[in-house]
Amino acid sequence: MLDAERLRDVERQYGFGYPPSFCAAVDELAALVEEPAFKAMFPQARLLWTASDIQAARQDGLPGCLIPFLAVEYAKHTDYYCFDLERWKQEYRVVVFAVHTGVAGWPDFRAFLTWAKQTSGAEPT
């Protein structure tokens, strides 16, 4: 399961703080990623918990204004689900970055988590 110290290390290294909604639901996200319905929809999904995970995503072309927390690998590219550090209102906006551009977004982590549950069938719509 999640190691909270790894998240604190990411915060220190990248100079930001994970949003409150993420901190409150991080265990829920970790459990969701392991659910059969989610795995069926996103079979190559993995959580990005460490500074080295973020560094690898940056080497793959992820811009510095994005902090990824989930990667979904496909044959020719990876979708990165990220906090957009340039768009803070009450919380960071969540965006999907794929093939050098943003392709989807949610106003905050809670909205993203609701979408992920509904899309995977883990939670009824």
Residue 15 is predicted with a pLDDT of: 87
d(CA 119, CA 96): 15
pTM of the model: 0.89
**pLDDT surpassing 60 at residue 71:** yes
The helix (H) or strand (E) run that includes residue 73 is strand 66-73
User: What are phi and psi for residue 67, nearest 5 degrees?
Assistant: -115, 110
- Min mean pLDDT across 1-5, 31-35, 66-70 is at 1-5
The pLDDT confidence band at residue 10, using thresholds 50, 70 and 90, is: confident
Per-residue pLDDT for 43 more than 80? yes
Q: What is the pLDDT of residue 122?
A: 67
Residue spans of the domains in the chain: they are 4-120
Q: Is the pLDDT of residue 33 over 90?
A: yes
Neighbours of 105 (CB within 10 A): 15
Between vectors from CA 26 to CA 22 and to CA 30, what angle results, nearest 5°? 140
CATH of domain 4-120: 3.40.1580
Give the pLDDT of residue 58. 92
Phi-psi map region of 89: left, alpha, beta (phi>0 left; psi -120 to 50 alpha): alpha
Q: How far apart are CA 93 and CA 44, in angstroms?
A: 23
> Hey, which residues does 106 pair with through a beta bridge?
94
pLDDT for 123 beyond 70: no
User: What is the C-alpha separation between 86 and 93, in angstroms, rounded?
Assistant: 9
Q: What is the mean pLDDT of residues 70-85?
A: 93
DSSP symbols for 76-118 = S-EEEEEEEEEEESSSEEEEEEETTEEEEEESSHHHHHHHHHH
